[in-house]
Every structure is written in C-alpha cells, then in structure tokens.
Amino acid sequence: MGNDSDNGNVSDVSSIGSNNTPHNGSNLSSTALITARQAESHLREQLSLSWTDQRGLINCATALNEAGVRKAVQIAKTYQLPLNLIHMINTKQGMKPYVGADAVMFRLQIDPRGLRSIETEILQWATTEKPEARARATVTFADGSRFVRHASHSSVSENNPSWTPDFITMKCETKAMRRVGKAAVPIPFPVFEDFAEFKEWESRHRDDVVEGQVRESMNMAEFLAEMFKRGYASVEEMAKRVGVDKLEDIVDYKEALNAIDGDDDV
C-alpha cells in the first residue's frame, strides 16, 4: 500500500478507519490510525474527568492550577485534541499552550477531508563533507486538496554533537513533515518539538542571541485591526477563519494571526 524509493516515501492512508491498515513510509508519530468517532469518544472520556485528573494528562513541567487546566481543556474542546497531546509552558506572560507533533498527526487522521497520503522526498542528502539536508513533504486529502512544505537541517542547526549524516537527513525529513502537517490542519499553536529544539539551540548559542528580543503579545483589539486589514469584514467571519465559536475563545491572538498568515511559502 505504501511504497518507498531512494528519494522519498509515500504513505497511502485512504482506508484510515481500518485497524489493520499498514502505514508505511514516514510519519509524524507512532499514533495508531483512528476514526473520527474513536477520537470523539476518547476526548469525551478525558473531558469527563475531574480537573485534577485532567491535570495529570497535560504535559507541563510545573503543577497546573485549575485555571491552567481549564485553558488546556478549552483548547481540547475547540480543536478536538486529546489533553495528553497539549503542552503548557510557563513563560513571563503566563502559561502558553503548545501542541505536540503527535497532535498534528492526530488531526490529520481525523480530518473530514479524508487523509489520502503523506509523502516525503529527500532533495539533498547530508554527507560528511556537506552535512546539510533538504526535504519536501506533501499531504494529500481525498477531496483533492494538497499541501507542500520544505525544510532544511544541517550540523549548524543540530544540537546533538554526535550527529551523523543520516541523522541530519532524518531530522530534516521530520521537520518537513511537521511543517506540512501544521499547514494542512488549522491548529493556531506552535509545535512543542520546534520550541524544544529552539530552546536547546539557544542554550548552546546563548552568546550569539541578542538580549531583550522578546516576541510581543497581541490583544483582541490589535487582532481585530490586523484581521480587518486582511479583508475580514465581520467578527463572525474572523472566528470562523480561526476555527472558534467566538474570538474570546482564542488563547493566543498572535499565534492565531501567524497561523493565518504563515506557511504560505511552498
């Protein structure tokens, strides 16, 4: 069903509802293939738990209070994500939500468009002499919609000092898949693995990082102004574009705007 070549991998997941469906080729996670009904049932079970039990499912380095758990639960409800695929990171601006790479694969699998295939192609293999790789990833849905994204990775951006050319290439392919998955499904939150890799890189290159460069947050008024500039005429239209019932449900306006603008480069 899937078929591999020297240049790329193709995963045909047209029969995604079958428990016996093989999933050859590259993928974002080891998450088993599921149906939308199974996903809904799983989420309902998690949402029925007490907030203290829900806290145990959420990925967070510190103990979340009830307000933090409620924020994660709202994200789970709005974007149909299990709580165990949500990460809450403590920042100077408070708890900031991230989604794991598994969450991107989860949403791809239950997408109503019907996930048809995930394809990766290595455009440049890393070598000892030139430890830099480039890859392309493509997601295709049964309705014909198609998303393509590229990524690169090299020894300069790699945090593992024991890297090998194959490791650099594999990491590049994984990055391309995360990017195309994020483009294909509307989750307006950054991917935790990208954040973790950046923080590790930042700690290894702290002397090269300019102090005081902090991303500014955005309030609702600023978000409305930016959306009007982009041609959205009503609050209802904006909420529909972001994927929420009302704008007050948006956890991070800046991330929501970035999700709308970003990933347009193919």
The closest of 144, 176, 123 to 6, measured between CA atoms, is 123
Give yes or no for residue 145 having a pLDDT over 60: yes
Please provide the average confidence, as pLDDT, over all residues in the chain: 79
Give yes or no for residue 181 having a pLDDT over 80: yes
Q: How confident is the model at residue 190 (pLDDT cuts 50, 70, 90)?
A: confident
Contact 253, 219 (CB under 8 A): yes
Bridge partners of 136, per DSSP, are: 121, 150
pLDDT value of position 167: 94
**Beta strand pairing call for 86-91 and 59-60:** parallel
pLDDT value of position 132: 95
pLDDT value of position 20: 31
Q: Is the entire prediction scored with pTM above 0.95?
A: no
Listing DSSP states for 78-135 in one string gives HHT--GGGEEEEEETTEEEEEE-HHHHHHHHHH-TT-EEEEEEEEEE---SSS-EEEE
Which of 138 and 187 is assigned the larger pLDDT? 138
What are 12-69's pLDDT values in tens digits?
443 333 333 333 333 333 344 677 788 888 899 999 999 999 999 999 988 889 999 9
Q: Which tokens sit at 228?
A: 């009007």
Kindly state the average pLDDT of the residues 149-173.
Answer: 91
Contact 68, 143 (CB under 8 A): no
- Of 22-26, 36-40, 158-162, 243-247, the one with minimum mean pLDDT is 22-26
Which of 201 and 138 is assigned the larger pLDDT? 138
Which of 195 and 118 is assigned the larger pLDDT? 118
